[in-house]
Amino acid sequence: MANTTHPTHQPTFAVIGATGKTGRRVADLLETRGHTVRRLARGTSPRFDWEQPDGWAPALHGVDRLYVTYVPDLAAPGADVAITRLVDVAREAGVQRIALLSGRGEEGAQRCEQIVLDSGIPATIVSAGWFTQNFTEGALSDALETGVLALAAGDVREPFIDVDDIAAVVAEVLTTDGHAGRRYQVTGPESLTLAEVAGILTEITGRDVQYVPMGFDDFHAAVAAEAGVETATLLTELCREVFDGRNESTTDGVRQVLGREPRDVRTVLTEALVADRPE
């Protein structure tokens, strides 16, 4: 009698927040490695919107492994309710592995982490602080035009993390075994003040960039004028919480997962901005 072979099931990956800084990189990396990826966001089909939970089950139908980024932040009010509902939907859909991006040092985020770890679905937490790419493609990138890097961070040091390193860690924990139940804190290799980052930006681009530390009230007012009171309150409280020194230390999370050191701020910023360097 002839042997009958059955093809090995190839998992389908889904990325919630696939248009964001980490999500698009994770999706790109998984696809480059030959995996089937379902990119999920408010503008995709199927659509995923954190404010429209009735659409979550169709979006996760047939998904085996899931990367989750929550908007606006896991520290935001109601995030724990949304994450609880999401893991229920994911469990019903048959999701077999979850990686959650969390905020390092955020108490609200830690509550959401525990919900995911207690879900019964093998899960891994990737906990990160401030992204290096915030200075090139995020809210702080206008400092290159205005010459002012303004934030309510005082002189506290932060081990800024390369988003590409985060994506590589996430792809690894979703595609290899041994990461279930683990929390990985990922940071860059050094802690810098915002004034030091401003100095690096100045050196790389030739444009004078100065760091201006803001008080919390002034920061709240400035953000509220641009993005509304709700966003201003969230960001102000996050700054108050995480820029108290709790996150100044570096970690070996990237090395634990990838077996190499994380990329430093100067390398990442140079790579992103070298095309804009004056002749």
The CATH number assigned to the domain holding 148 equals: 3.40.50.720
Q: Residues 179-213: pLDDT tens digits? A: 999 999 999 999 999 999 999 999 999 999 999 99
Residue 2 falls within a domain, yes or no?
A: no
Helix (H) or strand (E) holding 13: strand 12-16
Q: What pLDDT, on the 0 to 100 scale, is given for residue 9?
A: 77
Q: What is the mean pLDDT of the chain?
A: 94
Determine the angle formed by the axes of helices 216-227 and 229-242, rounding to 10 degrees.
Answer: 150
pTM for the whole structure: 0.94
The answer to whether residue 50 sits within a structural domain is yes
Q: Total domain count for the chain?
A: 1
> Any bridge partners for residue 230, and if so which?
none
- Determine, yes or no, domain membership for 267: yes
Q: Which domain holds residue 163?
A: 12-273
Is 4 part of any domain? no
Asked if residue 1 belongs to a domain, the reply is no
Closest CA to 69 of 167, 1, 155: 167
The answer to whether position 279 is within a domain reads no
When computed from its CA atoms, the radius of gyration of the chain, rounded to whole angstroms, is 20
What is the percent of the chain with per-residue pLDDT over 70, rounded to a whole number?
95
Tell me: the pLDDT tens digits for 221-276? Answer: 999 999 999 999 999 999 999 999 999 999 999 999 999 999 999 999 999 998 54
